[in-house]
Every structure is written in C-alpha cells, then in structure tokens.
Structure 1
Amino acid sequence: MSLMVSVSGLRGIVGESLTPNVLLKYSTAFALHLKSKSISPKIVIGRDSRPTGKTIQAFIQATFQQLGCNIVDIGIVPTPTVALAIQNECADGGIVVTASHNPIQWNALKFLNHLGEFVTPEESQNIYSIAENTTHTLQSSNSWHAFGMCVQIQTYLDFHIQKILHLPLIHSNIIKSQHLSVLIDAVNGAGSEIIPMLCEQLGVHSIVRIACNPHKIFPRNPEPIEENLIETSSLVKHYGVDLGIVVDPDADRVCFICEDGSLFGEEYSLVACADFVLSKKAGAVVNNLSSSRALLDVATKHHSTVYSSKVGEANVVALMKKTHAVIGGEGSGGIILPELHYGRDAMVGTALFLQAFAEWRIASKNTTPNTIPSLSLFKKTFPEYHIAKAKTHLSPNTDIKSQLEKIKQTCYGMDIIETDGLKIYFDSGWVHLRSSNTEPIIRIYAEGKTKTEAERIVHEFEKKLSL
C-alpha cells in the first residue's frame, strides 16, 4: 500500500491508503500524545489547497474536539506559517494537512510539537505506539460538556510576512531600489496569496501571477523540479521579468528561474541564501547528504563549516541546533533560518534571495556598469555543479538493504557513507541512493561538474538497481 509513515507524519493516496480509519487512528494517537502533557491541549491546524484537505481537516478536527482538544484553525496556509502560529499561540502542537510536493491524489498529516517544529523521533515513536494500541485509539470520546472549542484566525499570513520584514538581514528599501519584476508560480497551493503579498511588501516593482488561485486544482505535477517547470520557464522569458519564483503546494520549498528561462536550480536556492547570510554573520551551515558540493565551496570561502545530516527536515534541524548553525536547509529548496524559526520556509528563502540578488545588482552596477546584472549572471558567481535525479519504484517485497549492499560491493575502495542509504564519492562527483520518506521509491541523486556527467552516473546506478 502507499501509506508512508515517517518521523514527520504520515501520507498516502486518499481513498486507497489514507482512509477514514487511518485518519481516526493517527489523529486520536496525536491527541492522546498531547493530552499526556496537558488536560486540554491547544492544537493549531492549517492545510494546503488540495480538494481533499477541507474534508480531512474537518474529520480530524472533530476527533480532536471530541477528545477535549481546543483548536485554532488558521485556514489555507503554508506549513511554516503553522509553525509560527504554534509559537505565537503557545499551543501544545499542530497539524498541517498537506502532502507537500506529492501529486494531487495524495494527502497527509504533518505533526508539529509545541516548538512549532516537526516532532522528534522520540515523540513520533510515542504517537505511533499509541496508534497501534487499539485500547487507546478506540476509546470513547469525552462527554458533550468536555468537548473542545474551535476558533478561526485568518491573520497569520500577514503575521508571517511581518516577522520576515523585521529580520535584521532584510532591507526592503534596497530591494525596492532595483525595480525588480517577478513571475510567481504557486501551483495554486498554499503559497498563492502569501508569496505575492510578501513580494509586494518587499518592494518588488511588478508581479506576474501564474497559478496563484488556491481554489483551483494543481495545473501540473506540483514538485518544483525541472521536468515540471518547462511551461513556467518559458513564461518567465515570455513576460520579460527579472526572475521567476516557484513554490511547492505547502510553500516550504522554493526555486528560482532566470530571466532567460533557465533554472537557477533548487539546489542553488540554499547556496545563494547561505552565501548571503555568511557574508553578514559567522557561523556553521547544515545541509543533508543529498545536497550540492557548491554549499561546501561557498562556506569555505567564508571560513565556515558545513555539516551534513540524513535527509529530512527534522534531521537537519537537530544538527543545526547541535552545531549552532546560522542557516541550513535541504537541496530541494528548503531554507531554514533559525532567526525566524527552525523549519523550511519558502517565504524567508524568497526574502533572503531577493535581498542577496538586489545587493549583488548594486555592487555589479558599480564594478561593471556596462553589463546588465541579470539573474543568470548572478548564478555564474557560484561554483558550477550539476545534479541529476531519478526514482526507482519499489515492489512490496523489495529488500532495499540487500540491494544497496549489492551495489556497495561493486564500489570497493571508494569513499562511502552509510548513515542514510548509500552515498558514494568519486573523483568527479558523487551518487546518493536512499529510500524515500514520502513515496514508495528509491531516490537516486548524482552530482558532477557537468550535466552529462551527473546524468551518466544516475543511469549507471539505475541499471545496477535493476539487475
């Protein structure tokens, strides 16, 4: 079945693996987990724009209230907005009804703790233990007079924006001075309103909105990767804007498109933001094992250290806290700025990127006045690497460990890391093979100095997996 259960929550195909019984089981477990710490827990709930989201939210919300939990419903909002709302409401936890980048037939429950962060491995283990105990999950609800209450608050998009505008690194007057024009593709997701609002308040001169209606369905596969952005890239060039901004359905990932329609690259979202932050303040940087070497090169330039965690936001955050990192994230376009909160946030990523680009444009005009300071030229200021990605779908009986062990035996003498699947280093690059936390697949990421080299490595290991 397609139900995926991980440290951050569960996701599945609605009506196939994400059924009413599954929703009841895990929402009850989450409520009982919180009730072990508070008699009447306060839970913040938000969701993305999927057609199934409203019904699923109503279902789990009714479960919470019957178990005596009080609800703060903040509507269709990005995942990081829920995180900030939990902090501001002093809530005991939160749930986001979103399957993130997965196709529209999927949905999910993301569990957040009282810090507004994904639950820790220990917390998730407790939730799942409760879920498997039918004595707990099938217990009757509270008496009618002990039902929880629900309040609706529709102001958290603006709250999120104001928190970003007040960051010391963000100066909207500098961005405004560049008269930037942008195209925004929010795939009709939870970023449809907040990304344009943020750009306006950051001083962006003109905005072209593409798929920014949260009441419509996704117009394409929602994962913001090259193969899904062909039309968006052509529209960036067609409208003659300075850059394109693309987010996934729950707006925790962001990638940028250059004025000529080429991708700045989701990997380079973190690279550019980290370079900017490290130019202003010293500290460590954290990414995951599937991220580009370009971040290491940039950090070395600033005399900073890069630490790499297992893939997954919770893993990145744990290592960021341990190393007191000033910025971190994942190569998929997830930017984490601890100064705002410990979570991937497309909005703060957009603000940092626009600030970095605006300051570079000003400096570039002063040093090379006869050159147009475009985003494609900005991209060339960073080390050049290319990443290729592939997926291998799994059958129910696939023994992933034995497959990876078989591949490891063919790479004798190479530098290998086994903390998260299998990462193998070559003279010209690396490959990372691991089972996905969000889909029943093995992901293959490879990096090389050229696109051809990266694709060659991916194809080589696709063949090895198929043998």
Structure 2
Amino acid sequence: MPLKKSISGFRGTIGGKAGDNLTPEDIVANVAGYGAWLLKSGAPAKVVIGRDGRPSGPVVSALTAATLQCLGIDVIDCDFATTPTVEMAVVQHQAGGGIILSASHNPKEYNALKLLNSKGEFISAAAGADLMALAAAGDITYCSVDDLGSLTADDTALRHHINAVLNHPLVDVAAIRQAGFKVVLDAVNSVGAISIPPLCRELGVTCEVINGELNGQFTHNPEPLPQHLGDLMDRMKAGDADLGIAVDPDVDRLALIGPGGRWIGEEYTLVTVADYVLRHTPGPVVSNLSSSRAAADIAAHHGQEYFASAVGEVNVVAKMKEVGAAIGGEGNGGIIDPKLHYGRDSLIGLALVLSHLATSGKSINELRDGYAHYEMIKDKKEVDNTYDLDAAFARVRAKFPDVRTSDIDGLKLDFPDGWVHLRASNTEPIVRVYAEAGTKERAQELADGIKAEL
C-alpha cells in the first residue's frame, strides 16, 4: 500500500521502498516532523508512545523513540497499550503529545503512527499540514549528545485507565457485580487480550477469551464485522454467555453479539450506550455522516438534539465540543464519552453497556428489539490516483437532482427511506460507499444505484 498521510497520521505496509511504504526512512522522517512541530508549538518536550500487538511493533517503536530522543524529547513508553490508554496517559504524564503505533483494523502487514496533541486527542488538520511540511522540508536540527531525551517505561497506564472507567459516574459497578454477567471476547491476538479481561475482573464479570494470544498474527481479518467473527458468533450460539464482544487491534472499536449468536453490531454499540447515557445525562448526541440513523432516532426518543460531523475521530470530537454533547462516537463501534476523555474507547463502551444491562434488567437482544431497525451496506470502489472524484460526485448529483445532499465530507444523499454516503478513505486507496435503509435489500439497491454512477 502506498504511504498514506492524513489527519489520521501516517500509515502504510512494512517493507518496500522509502516513500512508497512505511519504511525506516519514512518512520524517522515523519516522527522527526512531528517532534519538530511539537517543539515549535511550545508544548512540553515529552511524548507518550504505545503499540498494539503487530509483529512490526517493536521495530517501529524503537525507531520512533530513538528519533524523538535525538530531538531532545523525553519518551514515556507504555509498550503494549490500547489507543485510549495512550490518549489518557498523555494527560496523566502532562506530556506534549503522544504517538500510537497501530494500524487499527488493517491486516498485520500494516502499521501506522497516530499522532496526539497535549490533550491526548488526535491533532487537527492544520497541525497535520504544518508537521508534514516540516517533515517534507527535511530542515530539522537534532540535539547534541548532552541533550538527548530520556526513555522511561510506564507499566501503570492501563491500571490508570481501568480505574478511571470504574470511577466514571455512570458506570454502576455494584449493579454489574450483582448481575453476574458472562461475556465472550474475541481479542483478535492484540492488546484487547490484556485490557478487557482485567476490567471484567474488576466488574465481577466472567470473561472467556478467544484469539487471546498477543502475537499480532491475527487469526482472522481484524476488522470487527460479522463476516470475520464466525468463531465468536458460533460460541454465542452454543453457550450461556450474556454478551459477545469483539474489538479491533487497538481496542477503540467495540462490536456486540447477543445470546444465540444475534449480531447486534458495531452501529448499535453507540445507540445502546447513548440510550443509557441519555437516561441519566441529557444533552446532544454526535456521530459521523456514515453512522446509522438509529443514533438520531435514540436522541429524539430522549428529547435531545442530534448532530452529524465529518468522518474521523478528530471531527466528531470537534463537533461534540461545539455542541456540548453528552455522548458521541462513530458507527464503527467507537464510543466517545466526554466525562472520561475525548477519544474512542472500548473499555468505557463496554462498562456502559454492562451498566445498561444491569440496571434495566433486559438482555442485549431485548434492548436491540426496542431500537429503530436499519440495515447497512458497507461497500467500496477501488481507485487509483488518477480517479476524478469531483467528476464522479457531479454525475451522482445530476442523476438524483431532487435528493437532499450534504458535502461536508464527500457526498451524502438522504433519500426518504435511506441514505448513501460516498467518501474517499483516509487510510486506503478506495471510495467508501455506505448505504442504509429499513431492509438489507433496499440498502443494497441504493448502494448499487450510486455505484453505477461512479
């Protein structure tokens, strides 16, 4: 995969030629750009790093830490850590920023540098443009031997994260413990295996783990979608567990499966959490344009406003702050609770789902039956760098002149009975084609009709 640079950071496959993939030269150049940007901003010369379970993690981590140290920046290394754990550790250590070494849901040959500011949040598009310019210019001065940064290990970051979840005002620890839940976790051979089970133990929840060996040799495609989770679905069909959960390699996405192997899904993770949060804390709900209408429906059910943002955690967070959201996230299973921190977090997501189950007395299947029903199609069109996306969008608009559209992120068409959202991926050379309607057949019909115009 060609090296991708965006507000999500720097992402590519390991190996190949410099400039084309995520090679040692590219890692050093881009980390140096980030370090130079951080020093230029006047933020503390301290950066927290952490990695998921990928085989390339140790090498990428070593290059990242050494580059920062050579700029005179102190490094706090959390080693194996979830994305939200690193985000919270930045604030805990009063660091100038953080770098998460994870390619999220991409296969094991990928890795990435996900860049944080001093608030433990993803850097803005403007900051990203600034640091990419610094990296491209190559005009970076490294420090002398007497000014090299230090390297310190931190083995307390996960404990700090779990404690914060347990102390969250809406996490009903007593009710969860009394309920005696059993969950089955697909940890996809990454840091979910060392983060979710200890949280469950603290909550008195029995946690059975599959794919729990932390080696980065993902047993299946690591994106938590139903077609990749056959083992977990079968386990939920056969057993007595109350909830099946799947996370991605860096544990910022949470998908739910009910007893009997019912796919609740990642889209309804936010709906379930929002339903619980709004029962206790009124306020707006925010998700991105590619998220289910069910999020807007649950907000309306509780008499609250709903707002849509552009896709991307940084955009959701910005909209949440703008409108004072009580809860937000993305339909890919990413829960953002501002009472904890402004980042997608499967640990707080799970704790709030369990709190909802415990206090409502309902199963996850019963909760799902009470929400508006939609079916979503997540399709794509592979493209190269010569593809004229603007011309494609113009063709689509011309084909459907009477349909309400939004262009704050790609092109979204809102039909009376569904919607289609088209956007270029920030991480892959594709155009994403998401569609939703009351039935899978109608959603597929909408997606196919729009794809024909692409």
- Tell me whether the two structures share a fold, i.e. TM-score over 0.5: yes
Give the secondary structure class of the aligned counterpart of 1:81.
Answer: helix
Do structure 1's residue 134 and structure 2's residue 127 form an aligned pair? no
Partner of 2:78: 74
**Runs of 4+ more than 6 Å apart:** none
The amino acid of 2:354's aligned partner reads L
Residues 44 and 95 in structure 2, CA contact (< 8 A), matched pair in contact too? no
Give the secondary structure class of the aligned counterpart of 2:269.
Answer: helix
Aligned counterparts of 1:115 and 1:442: Cα–Cα separation in 2: 31
Partner of 1:324: 324
Residues 73 and 148 in structure 2, CA contact (< 8 A), matched pair in contact too? yes
Note the alpha carbon deviations across 1:88-143, whole angstroms, 9 max, x for none. 1000001000000111111000000000000112211111110111223xx4x322
The amino acid of 1:305's aligned partner reads E
Mapping of 1:317-466 within 5 angstroms? 317-361=317-361, 373-465=362-454
Note the alpha carbon deviations across 1:229-265, whole angstroms, 9 max, x for none. 1222112222331110110000011011011112111
Note the alpha carbon deviations across 1:40-98, whole angstroms, 9 max, x for none. 71000001010001101101111111111100001111111001100010000010000
Residues 110 and 118 in structure 1, CA contact (< 8 A), matched pair in contact too? yes
Aligned counterparts of 1:156 and 1:289: Cα–Cα separation in 2: 33
Q: Gapped runs of 5+ residues in structure 2?
A: none
Partner of 2:48: 44
Give the secondary structure class of the aligned counterpart of 1:142.
Answer: coil
Shift of residue 188 of structure 1?
A: 1.2
Residues 40 and 70 in structure 1, CA contact (< 8 A), matched pair in contact too? no
Do structure 1's residue 301 and structure 2's residue 301 form an aligned pair? yes
Aligned counterparts of 1:443 and 1:40: Cα–Cα separation in 2: 38
Aligned counterparts of 2:207 and 2:75: Cα–Cα separation in 1: 35
**1:64 aligns with one of 58, 62, 68:** 68
Aligned counterparts of 2:88 and 2:43: Cα–Cα separation in 1: 23
Mapping of 1:79-228 within 5 angstroms? 79-136=83-140, 139=141, 141-204=142-205, 206-228=206-228
Do structure 1's residue 311 and structure 2's residue 315 form an aligned pair? no
Give the secondary structure class of the aligned counterpart of 1:343.
Answer: coil
Aligned counterparts of 2:283 and 2:178: Cα–Cα separation in 1: 29
The amino acid of 2:292's aligned partner reads S
The amino acid of 1:70's aligned partner reads D
Aligned counterparts of 2:310 and 2:82: Cα–Cα separation in 1: 24
Give the secondary structure class of the aligned counterpart of 1:344.
Answer: coil
Aligned counterparts of 2:13 and 2:108: Cα–Cα separation in 1: 9
Which sits farther off after the overlay, 34-43 or 64-73? Answer: 34-43
Aligned counterparts of 1:235 and 1:84: Cα–Cα separation in 2: 33
Aligned counterparts of 2:198 and 2:390: Cα–Cα separation in 1: 46
Shift of residue 299 of structure 1?
A: 0.6
Note the alpha carbon deviations across 1:271-303, whole angstroms, 9 max, x for none. 010111000011111110011111111111111
Note the alpha carbon deviations across 1:375-420, whole angstroms, 9 max, x for none. 2222101111111111211123111121121111101111111111
Residues 164 and 170 in structure 1, CA contact (< 8 A), matched pair in contact too? yes
Aligned counterparts of 1:306 and 1:267: Cα–Cα separation in 2: 16
Aligned counterparts of 1:346 and 1:423: Cα–Cα separation in 2: 28
Note the alpha carbon deviations across 1:22-43, whole angstroms, 9 max, x for none. 1111100011111114497100
TM-score scaled to structure 2, two decimals? 0.97
Give the total of aligned pairs: 450
Give the secondary structure class of the aligned counterpart of 2:193.
Answer: coil
TM-score scaled to structure 1, two decimals? 0.94
The amino acid of 1:51's aligned partner reads P
Aligned counterparts of 2:180 and 2:67: Cα–Cα separation in 1: 49
Aligned-residue sequence identity (percent) comes to 40
Residues 190 and 213 in structure 2, CA contact (< 8 A), matched pair in contact too? yes
The amino acid of 2:150's aligned partner reads M
Q: Gapped runs of 5+ residues in structure 1?
A: 362-372
Mapping of 1:238-249 within 5 angstroms? 238-249=238-249
Aligned counterparts of 1:258 and 1:167: Cα–Cα separation in 2: 25
Aligned counterparts of 1:243 and 1:115: Cα–Cα separation in 2: 33
Shift of residue 219 of structure 1?
A: 0.6
Aligned counterparts of 1:219 and 1:459: Cα–Cα separation in 2: 31
Note the alpha carbon deviations across 1:329-367, whole angstroms, 9 max, x for none. 000000000000001101111111111111221xxxxxx
Aligned counterparts of 1:223 and 1:53: Cα–Cα separation in 2: 19
